[in-house]
Chains A and B, each alone.
Chain A
Amino acid sequence: DAKTTQPPSMDCAEGRAANLPCNHSTISGNEYVYWYRQIHSQGPQYIIHGLKNNETNEMASLIITEDRKSSTLILPHATLRDTAVYYCIVSLLGYNQGGKLIFGQGTELSVKP
């Protein structure tokens, strides 16, 4: 699986948009970009995933560059409860395709009042 690179930490003011970057320059054409987050003392939580089109759900938006070598997770109005470690993962889609989540070190996002 392709590897990802994320900044180790970021700060964001409460109520502002949080933009979390991820580089995945070796991503292959059929690998998806997944985002998870882990709030302290809890299990990871799935946020969103995409292949090449931008995606949005009730939690976040995912912007993937046209060359697919990087992406950005956007939390439009960050709250204190969004303070967590955010993981960017690239993976094939399903078990039969060899899909597998490999969690790196992620980005520790601190949302400050």
Chain B
Amino acid sequence: DVKVTQSSRYLVKRTGEKVFLECVQDMDHENMFWYRQDPGLGLRLIYFSYDVKMKEKGDIPEGYSVSREKKERFSLILESASTNQTSMYLCASSPGGSSYNEQFFGPGTRLTVL
């Protein structure tokens, strides 16, 4: 089975801190994604990557950056955390080609910014 792991289940940070959320997948998937999930807004795509060192903006990239130096690892960076970035963050991965939308999700990181 595909396993997608995220570095923390719960995280509490202060406003203005730099925050790193790490995601690792073990199935050699080409694509990796970062979403955030908020009540009433559903899941929204922040960034995705279709190859090492490649990234594409999703629907809400403002305030975030990403890094993919190795195929199995995709990091989400909050350069200066703000309270409106308090959310559940979900990482996902998928194979390339026609299986792009068969995404495997991690358990999520619940981030609270105080």
Measured CB to CB, the nearest residue on chain B to A44 is B105
Number of contact residues on B: which range applies?
A: 20 to 34
Identify which of B67-75, B79-87, B90-98 touches chain A: B90-98
List, in ascending order, chain B residues with CB within 8 A of A41's CB: 107-108
Complex alpha-carbon distance, A93 and B98, angstroms: 6
Interface size of A by Cβ–Cβ distance < 8 Å? Answer: 22
* Contact call A43/B108, Cβ cutoff below 8 A: yes
Cβ contacts A91-106/B at 8 Å (1 or 0 each): 1011100011111111
List, in ascending order, chain B residues with CB within 8 A of A94's CB: 96-101
Cβ contacts B1-44/A at 8 Å (1 or 0 each): 00010000000000000000000000000010000000000110
* Contact call A104/B107, Cβ cutoff below 8 A: no
Please tell me if B64 contacts chain A, counting CB pairs below 8 Å.
Answer: no
- Give 16 A-B pairs besides A41-B108, A45-B105, A95-B50 with Cβ atoms closer than 8 angstroms: A32-B101, A43-B105, A46-B103, A91-B101, A93-B98, A93-B100, A94-B96, A94-B98, A94-B99, A94-B101, A99-B101, A100-B101, A101-B101, A101-B103, A103-B42, A103-B43
A-B contact pairs, 21 of them (CB 8 A): A42-B105, A42-B107, A43-B4, A43-B90, A43-B91, A43-B105, A43-B108, A44-B105, A45-B105, A46-B103, A49-B102, A93-B100, A95-B50, A99-B101, A100-B45, A100-B101, A101-B45, A101-B103, A102-B42, A105-B42, A106-B42
